[in-house]
Copies of this chain bind each other. A is one copy, B any other.
Amino acid sequence: MKGRTFIITGPSGVGKGTIIQELFARQPKLYFSVSATTRGPRPGEENGVHYHFISREQFEQWIQEDAFLEHAEYVGNCYGTPKKYVDEAMDRGEDVILDIEVQGAEQVYRKRPDAVRIFIAPPSWEELEHRLTGRGTESADKVRSRLARAKEEFHFAADYDYIVINNTVEEAVEEIRAIIRAEHCRPAQRLPLLNAAL
């Protein structure tokens, strides 16, 4: 059975990273999409594990070849999701998890309308502010600006297939696992199997 693509997005600080890490610990046959980037590797970063490190020429060629599901430039470096690895994983029957920004998610969805979009929401703005402050790495200004951006991004949540509230990591992960299981029961997934058997 072919795998499916799940786009997981949500505002900065919502706890997406922790949720995805725990999801991978519990759910078999998942593939985490590794981005391509033009920036150089930092100490400890491995090619193909943390990123696919490629040249700007290569990156631009991939754009020309429509080889990205989404791509963007941040502070002079390019980042993108290569189609190739996503498609190979789905063909192997693995479900693909794309950990992606709201803007990137929109790009992917235009190219892959059968991708399942999950928006991770905080239980409250107070809680999100608390988590952003708790990191201890951001100035009060930065926290305010991240919070304002989160509130803007939240307007997109209504267009998603599912909204998962990060009350607890446990609950959020189990909801995502239920969504993955349910999405494998869709007629488009099941009918090829059944038509072969029936």
B residues less than 8 Å from A177 (CB atoms):
178
B residues less than 8 Å from A25 (CB atoms):
none
Given A123-B197, A124-B198, A181-B175 in contact, is the A186-B162 Cβ separation under 8 Å? yes
Q: Check: A187 CB closer than 8 A to any chain B CB.
A: yes
A residues whose Cβ falls under 8 Å from a Cβ of B: 118, 121-125, 151, 154, 157-165, 174-175, 177-179, 181-183, 185-187, 190-191, 193-194, 197-198
Given A179-B185, A183-B182 in contact, is the A125-B191 Cβ separation under 8 Å? no
How many identical chains are in the complex? 2
B residues less than 8 Å from A179 (CB atoms):
178, 181-182, 185
Specify the chain B residue showing the minimal Cβ separation from A175.
B185
User: What are 7 A-to-B residue pairs whose CB atoms are below 8 Å?
Assistant: A121-B194, A157-B191, A165-B190, A175-B182, A175-B185, A179-B185, A181-B182
